[in-house]
Amino acid sequence: MRRSAAFVIATLTVTSAFSAENTQSQPPIESVSNDQLESVVVSARRREEDVQSVPIPIAVLSGDALEHSGQFRLEELNQHLPSTNVQFGNPRQTSIAVRGLGNNPANDALESSTGVYLDNVYLGRPGMANLDLIDIDQVALLRGPQGTLFGKNTTAGVLNVQTRLPTFTPEFNVETSAGEDGYYQVRGAASGALIGDTLAGRISVARSHKDGFIDDIYDGRKLNGYDRDGVRGQLLYKPTDTFSLRVIGDFNREDSDCCASVLYNPGPNNGAVYLGAMERIGASVVVDPNLSKVTLDAPQNMSVNQGGGSVEANWELGDYTLTSISAYRSWRFIPTNDADGTNLDAITNAGQAVDDQQWSQELRLASPGDGAVNYVVGLYYFNQDQSNETYTYYGSDAGKYTGRPAFDNATSKVSQRLGTDSIAAFA
């Protein structure tokens, strides 16, 4: 995949922190020495703590750091999180490895060795996190097995992504970036009180576009570009100091002419065997060491639609905290691939579509964090229903391409279903 050099065109951020009548009475702001480190607060142990006091191998990346670096994709976390390797072929073939521990990303029956959580909700497929990381508060990587603090056990670690909470102080920001190959990204967020100091809301939107950079010399198309859109809405209800309710809903869409593969090397003897065979059947093949040209006669596309919602309730029972998280997510992936890699009408489309639905419910109790014995206990339920369809569509030239005339204009489909129920008590 090729990355674009980008630069920020404009940024506008406004925060209204004080009313007009009390602005004059505020004490002067004291300067802070540059050699003082800012305290980093994490919830790795299901309570807010300074990261220095958490006895877990952990790496924390703030949302501000992501924005300043101009990196908003899951695979770009490789540059920020030590001992982490995110492999991205397409949203279905996404794999996250920690300390060298990962798994086969193309096997839909395997769960990721590194669990991904978005706002405390476990994502059943790593590809569900393959969206623009916009309006992020914090990304934390917990290395090593996680089962005593998370109901969905993972063997290599947890990638915990937290978005920014709604604020009762009005604020909004808009930012636009642009770069080569027609790249641009527009993102923004607005937050503020809806009903006094009881109900606040937040909305975040983003759109990203990039033109293709692979030339299809068959019909002049540009391939491997993308269009991505996303929106997230939140409500925060705090009627008392001892109860809060956070409701989140989001939807993300990607429509890309991805992922065309360039033939870099045709094989021994300058590809005499392969290229000779293609010439005999009248196929045109492009060999391009510069990785920029193909010859394809069929559509090349990847469509992803995903979204979901969650409801998180927190009760303060004296010094204890009781938390309930109910969530639903849907993820649909549909690829279209010219699988013969030539200008022949041979294998016009081949791929595997995925339709994934998941429900989860978590209930946990956290003790005070300053006692001689600290603990978290909880119950967790996760249900996933996944329908897959593997398909191959053959064209009128399939017979001479495969050597089997019976394949002309044939279609092959295999349907599969995967159901998962995960129940856990953890402490």
- Residues 198-232: pLDDT tens digits? 999 999 999 999 999 999 998 899 999 999 999 99
Q: Give me the residue label for tokens 């899951």.
A: 74
Q: What contacts 284, CB < 8 A, 6 or more positions away?
A: 218, 278, 295, 342, 343
Give pLDDT, residue 14: 55
Q: What contacts 273, CB < 8 A, 6 or more positions away?
A: 267
Tell me the C-alpha distance between 407 and 346, whole Å.
9
Give pLDDT, residue 103: 65
Give pLDDT, residue 237: 97
Give pLDDT, residue 52: 64
Q: Which two tokens stand for residue 207?
A: 């759109």
Give pLDDT, residue 315: 96
Tell me the C-alpha distance between 199 and 190, whole Å.
15
What letter does residue 392 receive in the DSSP assignment? E
Give pLDDT, residue 374: 87
Give pLDDT, residue 55: 66
Q: Distance between the two ends of the chain, CA-based, in angstroms?
A: 42
Q: How many CB atoms lie within 10 A of CB 33?
A: 5
66, burial (CB in 10 Å: exposed 0-12, middle 13-18, buried 19+): buried
Give pLDDT, residue 18: 38
Distance of CA 156 to the CA centre of its chain: 18
Q: What contacts 232, CB < 8 A, 6 or more positions away?
A: 134, 135, 163, 203, 204, 205, 248, 249, 250
Instruction: State which residues of the chain have pLDDT below 70.
Output: 1-56, 103-106
- CATH class entry, domain 44-260+296-426: mainly beta
Give pLDDT, residue 231: 96
